[in-house]
Structure formats: C-alpha cells, structure tokens
Amino acid sequence: MSDSPGKLKLGALVALVVGSMIGGGIFSLPQNMAASAGVGAVLIGWAITAVGMLTLAFVFQTLANRKPDLDGGVYAYAKAGFGDYMGFSSAWGYWISAWLGNVGYFVLLFSTLGYFFPVFGEGNTPAAVIGASILLWAVHFLVLRGIKEAAFINLVTTVAKVVPLALFALICLFAFKLDVFTADIWAVGTPELGSVMNQVRNMMLVTVWVFIGIEGASIFSSRAEKRSDVGKATVIGFVTVLLFLVLVNVLSLGVMTQPELAKLQNPSMAAVLEHVVGHWGAVLISVGLIISLLGALLSWVLLCAEIMFAAAKDHTMPEFLRRENANHVPANALWLTNAMVQIFLVITLFSNSTYLSLIYLATSMILVPYLWSAAYAFLLAWRSETYEQALAERKKDLIIGGIALLYAIWLLYAGGVKYLLLSALLYAPGAILFAKAKREVGQPIFTSVEKLIFAAVVAGALVAAYGLYDGFLTL
C-alpha cells in the first residue's frame, strides 16, 4: 500500500489482535472444556497451550523485527522460507479458515439472538440465514469505507466486549468454591472422557480455536505506523487474552462441577453467571457476546481481505485481487471473501453444520500457516540469517522457534486425520488461482518439489471426497 495517511497505531493493532482472538469461543469455553476434560487435564492443557502459543507469539514478534521487509505475516514467511506454492497455500488456507470462522460466528450470533427471539433457533433457520446475510453485507459496505475507520470501530467494540468478561471474572471469583473445584480433579467419575492424556488432547483443539487471531497484527504490518509496534501488539494482545481465557475457564470449574458444566447450552458463560446471580447474569453475557461477535466479524473481514491483497501485491495471487478502491480498501478481495461467506450461510440451511464443526474445520485450515511461520523462524536462527551480530539472541530464538515448531506439529496430530483430509479438499482447488497468478507473470507453475507436494494434496482431497460420498467422513 502507498504511504497514505491512515496508518494504524499500537492501540489499534492491539485491538486487532484482541478483537480477532476474543470472538465467540471464550463465551462457550466453560461447556466446551468440561465436555472434553476434567479439572486436572484442563490445567495441564492450559500450561502446554500457554507455552506453545507464547512461543508462537514470540515467533511473530521476532519475524516482524528481523524481516521488516516482509508484509502480510503468515503468508510472507511461508513464501520466503519454502517457495511460492507454500506461500500461496498459507495465504489460501488462512483465508479459507478466516471466512469459515466468520460463517461459524454468524451461526453462533443468531443462535444467541435465539435466546431472545425463538425464530432464530440454533442459528441455522431460514430467518437466521436472512438476518446473517443482511448483517454480512452491512459489514461489507462499512469496511469498503476505509480500513482505518473500520479499525477504530473495532477498537470500540473490543473495549465493550472486555467489560462483561471482567465482570464475569470478578463475580465468579467471589462465588468460587474450592470443594467444587477439587471434587473430582482427574474426572475419575466420568469414565467416558478417557485417560488424562486423551482429555488433554481433546481440550487442546478448543484452545487453538480461541487463540486464532494471534497473528492479527503481523498481517497488517504494512499498515502499521511503527514497524516495532507489530511485535509489541502481538505479545500484549496474547497475554491479555490468555489471562481472560484461563480466568473464565478455571473460575467456572469452581462455581459448577464438571458434569454440570458439560450439560450446559452455549453460550455457557451465560448459564454459569445465571447460576450465581440470577437471570440478569445470562442477559449481560448474551449482550456481551453479541457485541463481541460483531467486533470479531469486523476484525476477520478485514483480515480476510488483507491476506489476499498482500499475496496479490507480489504476484502470488492473481492480479484482480490487488485492486483497491478510493479509500485504499482491497475491494475485489473483499467481494470474493463475502461471496464465499454468503454461499456457506445458505449451505448451513441444508446441512446440519453446527458452530463447533465449522470451528474445527477452520482451526485445521489455519494450522498449516502456523506451522510454516514457526518453521521459518527456526530456519532463520538455524542458518544464522540476520543474526550475524547477535549470537546470544540466535540461541534463544532457536529454542523458541523449535518449541513453536514442535507445538504446531503436535496440533496437527491432535486435530486428527479427518480434519487433515477435509483440509486437503479445500486446499486443492486453490491451485487454479495459483496457476493464474503464475501465468500472469509468465513463470512455470510448479517447481519439481512443488509438483510432489501438490500431488500429495490432490491425493488427500480425493480420499476426502470419496470419504464424504461413502459416508466414512462427515462434516
């Protein structure tokens, strides 16, 4: 983007990280966690997640400082480290993950409104889809008016959503009972949860979903007023959100028992607060969730358009995605994104896709871009690239990059084969856009190594397609 006015300050960048991380996930956290793990496993899982995600936050901070010429975050790192097709796949996977997540947000938003207006049901009734469609295009035209204006509105909604979360934490702190919390630490009384290791693995996929957005500031790096703010915003945003997530999850387990929490309807935070203070608690959390989702939708619509625009700017995506309107907003990328959201909203009418199944698919799509970012940071330290004068820092970054890489690989394993195959089904068609971009600059489409990688993706996609047809795989 040209050096136009409208650059983003540190506060706006932190709000983009916090705003995109705090969406709907935290409001359903008490039930989602209790359904997959007991108190002990939850504490172990959070410890692993905090270390793993913190190393990822440091990876984004390090790369923002060491490679200030790379705009577009996750996508640019994959391209610089592992070639054009990996860069393209990262941008494509991230983009799909982001708009799939938005479809999930719309379903959750209207299922929350269903609490007040039964016509919206679980968020996938005809009335809910019509309402979601109207809202989708309202957000679309708001973003077309300018990134800086949209980022300001995001700052306001971020502050508004943090207030009910802080209130929840404060009230539950006083209602916390140690005997409830320690009643059945290893969930011995709930054998269906399986072993502690199994519980940890299950709860960690939910934790990844609530942390997606940690890379928000790095995607907007080219629009930051000061480059050093990108890394700062990432770490500040991460620590803030981690604190809220752990408080909400752990305090709930001291207010209601694990089996009680597991049976709650989502947004389960509303039911937990209602249990403590009565009906107004549920209303407060529901209103907080509605504001939170509106803000998160705005953040993610911005991120979707930005990642496609950044990739088109250096010819990894086709040229038509590079077009900006008079307000310097990547208009074509925005139209393509929201058209996909609209199509999938209509699909939710005909398939029983719930919020959670959309979320798991969105999460597995984003794990690949995370993996390449961690691998690139590790590679830089390994090769001593940009570390000529800083050997002590190189050792530290080698360890951080290594842990982040192991964590990203572990997440792919925790996600399981099902979501990996479904991801391949969504990754494969992207090659059409990649081929178009390569033709525009007159280059051969794949290198010989990329041909092998693409063949593996196509093979995975064919297995997934057959699985969906045969019924051994389901959405």
How does pLDDT run across 460-474, given as a tens digit for each residue? Answer: 999 999 999 998 887
Q: What is the mean pLDDT of residues 445-449?
A: 94
Is residue 367 very low, low, confident or very high in pLDDT (cuts 50, 70, 90)? confident
Q: Which of 25, 28, 32 is nearest to 262 (CA)?
A: 32
Q: Say if residue 352's pLDDT is above 90.
A: no
pLDDT in tens, 22-69: 888 899 899 989 999 999 999 999 999 999 999 999 999 999 889 988
Spatial distance between the Cα atoms of 182 and 7, rounded to a whole number of angstroms: 50
Confidence at residue 397, expressed as pLDDT on a 0 to 100 scale:
96
Average pLDDT (323-329) is: 91
Spatial contact of 34 and 262, defined as CB atoms under 8 Å apart: yes
What does the pLDDT read at residue 283? 92
Lowest mean pLDDT among 97-106, 273-282, 316-325, 326-335: 97-106
Rounded percentage of the chain residues whose pLDDT exceeds 70? 98
Asked whether the beta carbons of 271 and 249 are under 8 A apart, the reply is no
* pLDDT on residue 2: 40
Q: How confident is the model over 307-314, as a mean pLDDT?
A: 91
Question: Residues 6 or more apart from 305 whose CB is under 8 A from it?
Answer: 143, 329, 330, 333, 334, 337
Taking Cα atoms as reference points, which of 303, 335, 364, 344 lies closest to residue 103?
Answer: 344
- Mean pLDDT over each residue of the chain, to the nearest integer: 90
On the question of pLDDT at 140 being above 60, the answer is yes
What mean pLDDT is predicted for residues 213-242? 89
Q: Looking at the predicted structure, is the pLDDT value of residue 260 above 90?
A: yes
Average pLDDT over residues 358-387: 90
State the helix-helix crossing angle for 228-252 and 25-34, rounded to 10 degrees: 40
Residue 308: what pLDDT?
A: 93
Report how far apart the first and last C-alpha atoms of the chain are (Å, whole number): 38
Answer whether the bond into residue 267 is a cis peptide, omega within 30°.
yes
Number of neighbouring beta carbons within 10 Å of residue 328: 16
Q: Please report how many Cα atoms fall inside a 13 Å half-sphere around the Cα of residue 265, on the Cβ side.
A: 10
Query: What's the confidence (pLDDT) of residue 358?
Result: 76
The rounded distance, in Å, linking the Cα atoms of 169 and 207 is 18
CA-CA distance, 468 to 395, in Å (whole number)? 46
CA distance 90 to 97: 10
Max CA separation in the chain (angstroms) = 69
pLDDT of residue 212: 84
429-438: average pLDDT: 96
SS3 376: helix
Contacts with 31 (C-beta within 8 Å, 6 or more apart), sequence order: 261, 262, 263, 264, 265, 266, 268, 271
Please give the model's pTM, rounded to 2 decimal places.
0.88
Distance CA 427, CA 446 (A): 15
* Distance between CA atoms of residues 320 and 333, nearest Å: 8
Mean pLDDT for the stretch of residues 359-387: 90
Distance, CA of 366 to CA of 346 (rounded, Å): 23
DSSP-assigned beta bridge partners for residue 8: 224
pLDDT average, residue stretch 244-249: 95
CA distances from 254 to 210, 260, 271 (A): 21, 11, 14
